[in-house]
Amino acid sequence: MKTTICNSLLLSFIFLFIGCANDNTTVNTTGTDSELPVLPVITLNNYYADIVNQVSQEELNNTLQIYELFGNKQTGSNQLEQVQAWIENTYTDLGYTDVKIHSFPFENTSSNNIVITKKGTKFPDTYVILDAHYDAVFKGTNDNGSGTAILLELAKLFKDIDTEYSLKFIHFSGEENGLIGSNAYVTQEVIPNNMDIRLVFNIDQVGGAVGKNNVLVCEKGTANPGIVKQASEAFTLALAEAAKLYSSVKTEIGNAERSDYIPFENNGEIITGIYEKNGDSNPTYHLETDLLENMDLPFFTEVTKATAGAMLHFTGAEEKVF
């Protein structure tokens, strides 16, 4: 009986923390290896807004042009290796020092995920992961040059910002072949190292279709019960709120499916993601016409701003004191 009382007291505390989550305490949940993160409370932060407003449509356009020029990007191709080198160089040129390759077997050869880590100030062993696949069915400027370009844009914005939580940018390969790269990463890195992950935020095909009234779907994880599901929903609602505060993009809430967050979700992690609405019915979906000229660049720029705003909150970006 004593145990029961203690447990219900603990549960009350946990729900108290969910209800008024505005500090950085983490609470261990009983019976699982997961921790309930403090959920972000999204209110407009003018310092964050100044950073978000540095997002440049021109630069995004340039990045997408470069990505497109590499040609077709199937996993295992020479072109994809060249894209990999370009992504690595972009980070090292920005001054990132922890740029690692994670190799995994693919058919008779191997392919590479690219993992960039930036240490947090307060919780250096707890990670917010922002990921996007960089392989494609053909040239794939929308699917998934769009996700690739957002990571590179945020890498630039976050370079000189301290964050409370550690941040990992991960560019996955093998997504179009069945989430092979992300599955390998979870199996070979996350599980053996018992990696403490606050959130996985996946970006896949968010460039929109030219001439359409494009809408962004914020995707919550639904596979895990209890606290993980609750936290995933809360982060996803926070993401939609950040989109409203830091961009003009229209959002809807949907369910996560068929992209690189799924192996993490299967491992019990808290996930969220973004995907353009009607992505599968985009006339260029998985075709040779998936090109920059068929994307909605102003929409994509606003999506990038929404992502930047949300990530500043999710990582606990610290305001610089001058």
Neighbour order of strands in the sheet with 196-203: 99-106, 109-118, 165-172, 123-133, 196-203, 271-276, 216-220, 251-255
Q: In the complex with Zn ion, which residue's Cβ is closer, 204 or 276?
A: 204
Distance CA 219, CA 232 (A): 9
From residue 233 to residue 272, what is the string marking binding to Zn ion with x (rule CB under 5 A)?
A: ----------------------------------------
Q: In the complex with Zn ion, which residue's Cβ is closer, 166 or 259?
A: 259
Beta strand 109-118 with 123-133 is unpaired
To which residue do tokens 């830091």 refer? 246
Least distance (Å) from Zn ion to the CB of residue 74?
13
Q: In the complex with Zn ion, which residue's Cβ is closer, 144 or 236?
A: 144
Distance CA 34, CA 27 (A): 9
Distance CA 249, CA 299 (A): 7
Least distance (Å) from Zn ion to the CB of residue 175?
6
Distance CA 249, CA 95 (A): 31
Q: Which of 144, 224, 247, 315 binds Zn ion (CB under 5 A)?
A: 144
**Per CB under 5 A, 143 contacts Zn ion:** yes
Contact 259, 202 (CB under 8 A): yes
Counting residues that bind Zn ion (by CB under 5 A) gives: 4
To which residue do tokens 């090292």 refer? 92
Q: In the complex with Zn ion, which residue's Cβ is closer, 71 or 279?
A: 279
Q: In the complex with Zn ion, which residue's Cβ is closer, 205 or 247?
A: 205
From residue 184 to residue 223, what is the string marking binding to Zn ion with x (rule CB under 5 A)?
A: --------------------xx------------------
- Using CB under 5 A as the criterion, which residues of the chain lie in contact with Zn ion when the complex forms? 143-144, 204-205
